[in-house]
Amino acid sequence: MTNAIIRAQPPLDFIPEQFSPWVRRLLKVIVPGWMRWHTDLVDIRVKNPEVLAQKYGEFWAGQGRLLLAFRHPAPEDAYCLAHLLWRAVPQAGQQQGLSLQPVHSHFIYDRGIPLWAGRWMGWLCSRLGGVSIQRGKLDLVALKAARKLLVSGEFPLAAAPEGGNNGHNEIVSPLEPGVPQLAFWCVEDLNKADRSEPVYVVPLGIQYRYIDPPWAAISQLLTQLEDRSGISGELPKLPELPSAELANLYGRLYRLAEHLLTLMESYYHQIYDLEPPADRDDDANAQLATRLKHLLDGALSVAETYFKLKPKGSVIDRCRRLEQAGWERIFREDLRDEAALSSVERGLADRVAEEADLRMWHMRLVESFVAVTGRYVLEKPTADRFAETVLLLADMVARIEGKNPFPRPSLGKREALVTVGEPINVRDRWSDYKASRRKAVAALTKDLQGNLEALIVDSSEF
């Protein structure tokens, strides 16, 4: 079953950064073997590591502060960053004749991770120099800690501007403005301290590909999902593809997506009176995308109605606020002294927590499909895009069944590519920030989005 929360708990306290050099040294030895044992990732390649090595050299020399903005397509990204910092960058530094100190970074991570991964993960992230943050609110304690580390920390700071992983190798989710704002705050704090170092945001692209296209595994997973979803009948008529095999597989994928969408539309209509979208596009894939967008909006509205929230901002913004609203009912300040509660008070508190967790289910469903489009596979029918989409549908089926979608099914051995992009000098934008903070942050967010998208390469270029 899924990790359902049925008990109210004390509040989620901030987990402070407590970097431990011996933990880093131990993990550097353990991580490669752990990665091969627990994941299907067998190789990590790095492009342009010398760019980051040069910036680390400047960092150690007091000639610049660094904010590493990495793409977040999958949970395995942590292994990619570890390989980049602990192996690829030091090697590139040696080749350039740079004397680099131990290459590492502080980082920002979601406070919710230890909830599903275990308390030990919070301890580990803290000892690796991580700062926990609650994504759905203005977490002033976490922001203050991250801001301090960026200005005077022992290492650069790393963060994922997408917020969470989106399951797509070739789509960058809309960026949140937190990373650009931190960069401008760093310039501001340096100025107050009469320091003139430049502040660089370094874009880091992360992508994965299957070493051997897992067509058979994709077909097998589709069969399992078809059986679990009760699908039968003929395949729909869709645009022609390069081969009959691809056309058949795409037809099955589309049929599964359309079937699940119809089931969920019926569910939300019967239980929550959600009406289907009025306009239907003649193009089947465009119609599917329109229906999905309408369904996700409706699912968020259901949760927002329960928590008495207004539907404000992007889908990601709405998800974050819903998550925080749920956490505030589950992790409560008035439960610090649980012994003071009577059994009846405890029972009522647990009921509130259980209901909040149930309403957050709608938000979790939406989170999985934030970056889904109706033509992603059709535009480039590669095994990697097929696999990404089938795995997202597998997540959806598991959540509907009341199961935990993780760990995901393994479709085959993969390799990763980490690409270091061109650093962005934020100090050069300081005059724009002084003129209009909002516009400067928005402009840097847009430029960073473009830079991360430019780092996406075709899988054949790995």
Q: Is the pLDDT of residue 1 over 70?
A: no
pLDDT tens profile 172-181: 999 999 999 9
pLDDT tens profile 244-292: 899 999 999 999 999 999 999 999 999 999 998 876 666 888 888 899 9
Query: Where does 382-422 show beta strands of DSSP type E?
Result: 414-420
Can you list the domains of the chain with their CATH numbers? 21-211+413-461 (3.40.1130.10), 215-400 (no CATH)
Give the number of other Cβ atoms within 10 Å of residue 82's Cβ: 19
Q: What is the largest CA-CA distance in the chain?
A: 71
pLDDT tens profile 339-381: 888 999 999 999 999 999 999 999 999 988 887 877 899 999 9
* Own/partner long-range contacts of 258-261 (Cβ < 8 Å, ≥24 apart): 258/288, 259/229, 259/231, 260/229, 260/393, 260/396, 260/397, 260/400, 261/288, 261/291, 261/292, 261/295
pLDDT tens profile 54-73: 999 999 999 999 999 999 99
Confidence of residue 214 (pLDDT cuts 50, 70, 90): very high
Q: Are residues 65 and 151 in contact, defined by beta-carbon separation less than 8 angstroms? A: yes
What is the sign, positive or negative, of the torsion defined by CA atoms of 316, 322, 326, 329?
Answer: positive
Q: Is the pLDDT of residue 232 over 50?
A: yes
pLDDT of residue 2: 55
pLDDT tens profile 130-171: 999 999 888 999 999 999 999 999 999 999 999 888 899 999
Q: Among candidates 315, 323, 268, 333, which has minimal Cα distance to 295?
A: 268
Region 440-452 average pLDDT: 98
The rounded distance, in Å, linking the Cα atoms of 285 and 278 is 16
pLDDT of residue 156: 98
What is the sign, positive or negative, of the torsion defined by CA atoms of 334, 335, 341, 346?
Answer: positive
Q: Among candidates 270, 265, 440, 460, which has minimal Cα distance to 380?
A: 460
* Single pTM value for the model: 0.95
Confidence of residue 239 (pLDDT cuts 50, 70, 90): confident
Region 388-412 average pLDDT: 93
